[in-house]
Amino acid sequence: MDDTGVWSLQRSADGQNVSPLLSSADIGMLMHARRLSAAAGAPVRQFPPEFAFDPASGAALQVPPDTAATPPWVAPYGAHAISDSPLQGAAGLRQASVPLMLADQRAREEHAQADASLPMPPPGEYEFFAAQFGTSGAALLALDPRKAALHAWLPASKRWLALEPEMGALLAESDLSHGAWRAELVPQFNSVLVLPTSHGLACIRPDVPSLTYAVEHVGGAPCVAAPIWFQNRLWAPLRDDDGRVRFVNLDAAQKPGSDVLLDGVVDLGAVSAPVAYNRMAVWPCANGQLRLQLQPDGNVAASLTPWPEGLVPHFEFGSPYLSRDGSLWQLCFERSRHTYVYVKLGSQPERADALAPRLCSGSFNYRFAAKLKTAPWEEPEHGDDGGKNQAVMPLLESGSGNSVFGVKFATSAGLSSVLRSNERLAAQLVQDDTLRETVFHTFAVSEPWRLRLFVSDGMLWAYHPLLSRIDGWTLQA
């Protein structure tokens, strides 16, 4: 507080000087500052969120709206944040941890303007997080893993600003592909992001009020795949200088455990995003299943199980399928018979032939533009191929109910060739639930299925690096 009785935030909770690039309005919104009614034309006075009254006058302070705690958003699909409680269900699929339903769904139109929009961050390819990052409310961060660039959204100034390293340690880059990348988040007042990088697992603590971050890299070798929370620890595979794969692991406090080594030197080929369920975590790779398995003695063992002879996995169709009995199934192509096959992930892979590949988010799969919850190798008794010239790539399953958000696009050629094409396509954003399919946005871009959806400030936002802005739609409270 200065001599005039005006309060201002000088240092962040992390002990850093607040950046002069943040306006008092930005700080007020991020820190849920209380306000004192002012006369017309007079500056608004802000107070710490713990205050209920003005210490000088005793006047009651205004509580800012929307200060209710909201679950964090963890890129890329809104996974559960790390906690000491065992995770219920599978991890790593395109399944959000929170319910998602558009507000005013019946009134939505495909060519209507979005409810709001954000400017794009600087050029790059971003993933988005919303959580407490040294803030009382959720702050929105944009991360470009390939450039190791981190930007914070200033809600009052309406602009993105870069976060700089706090003590000189720089966040390392990641060379993982778009489809293989994912992150984890430890929620607290200064939440911690855990990211795969070329120097190991990065534990990064962003501090938005100071526009800085602190980072520690664990493992000392490049991550060959993304991390996943499994058996109450965070696991990721690294490749050492001798070519061997080594799994590092951290607990919820980011304390390392004993490494687990994979026997021999192996060629994994292209790696996909990991999935975990019950006693198994799997990183599907071009050359097999890189796997961690909980043993009867409580230890975790690593293995690489090759795909059955002649099978080639296809990761471009989305997530593995999660069956109702909890099994995970990966789509493959059998070259000798020229047919698609689903392979059960695990040590004893079962197989199921499929007439055609399905686009999958986890619990749901799409037969062209029709949403199904039956197994993707099962054909419906009364199949309707009237929508065969369109397909839906499911981007995100709601945390409850049967709602799926996806991108609908034309498939004049075979689905596999369309997914490999770089041509510009017209596409629609759809919400598909048990009652109806709602088209609420239309756009045209190359590879529209690379759209990232994220939730912040009660809105569903859609980002694609080739679009000119980030559009958003209000969600049901």
Give residue 55's Cα distance to chain centre.
Answer: 43
> 179-204, pLDDT tens digit by residue?
999 999 999 999 999 999 999 999 99
Percent pLDDT > 90 in the chain is 72
Q: Which residue, 357, 396, 403, is CA-closest to 376?
A: 357
Instruction: Report yes or no on 25 lying in a domain.
Output: no
Residues 358, 368 contacting (CB under 8 angstroms): no
Long-range CB pairs of 187-191 (<8 Å, 24+ gap) are 187/72, 187/81, 187/82, 187/83, 187/131, 187/132, 188/132, 189/13, 189/132, 189/134, 190/13, 190/14, 190/132, 190/133, 190/134, 191/72, 191/81, 191/131, 191/132, 191/133
Instruction: Report yes or no on 266 lying in a domain.
Output: yes
> 434-463, pLDDT tens digit by residue?
888 999 999 999 999 999 999 999 999 999
Number of domains in the chain: 1
Could you list the residue range(s) of the whole structural domain that residue 207 is in? 105-474
Q: Which pLDDT belongs to residue 132?
A: 95
| Cα distances (Å, whole numbers) of residue 286 to 269, 300, 355, 380 | 5, 23, 22, 30
Instruction: Report yes or no on 139 lying in a domain.
Output: yes
Side chain identity, residue 362:
G
d(CA 222, CA 348): 30
Instruction: Report yes or no on 35 lying in a domain.
Output: no
Q: Which pLDDT belongs to residue 438?
A: 94
> 63-116, pLDDT tens digit by residue?
777 766 789 999 999 999 998 776 778 999 999 999 999 998 878 888 889 999
Better-predicted residue by pLDDT, 333 or 25: 333
Better-predicted residue by pLDDT, 56 or 248: 248
What is residue 178's DSSP assignment?
T
Instruction: Report yes or no on 59 lying in a domain.
Output: no
Instruction: Report yes or no on 71 lying in a domain.
Output: no
Q: How confident is the model at residue 167 (pLDDT cuts 50, 70, 90)?
A: confident
Q: How confident is the model at residue 6 (pLDDT cuts 50, 70, 90)?
A: low
Burial of residue 254, with CB atoms counted within 10 A of its CB: 0-12 exposed, 13-18 middle, 19 or more buried: middle
Better-predicted residue by pLDDT, 38 or 403: 403
Q: Which pLDDT belongs to residue 4?
A: 45
Instruction: Report yes or no on 11 lying in a domain.
Output: no
- Look up the CATH number of the domain holding residue 387: 2.130.10
Q: Which residue, 212, 158, 216, 211, is CA-closest to 186?
A: 216
d(CA 59, CA 84): 42
Instruction: Report yes or no on 376 lying in a domain.
Output: yes
> 108-150, pLDDT tens digit by residue?
888 889 999 999 999 999 999 999 999 999 999 999 999 999 9
Cβ-based neighbour number of residue 379 at 10 Å? 14
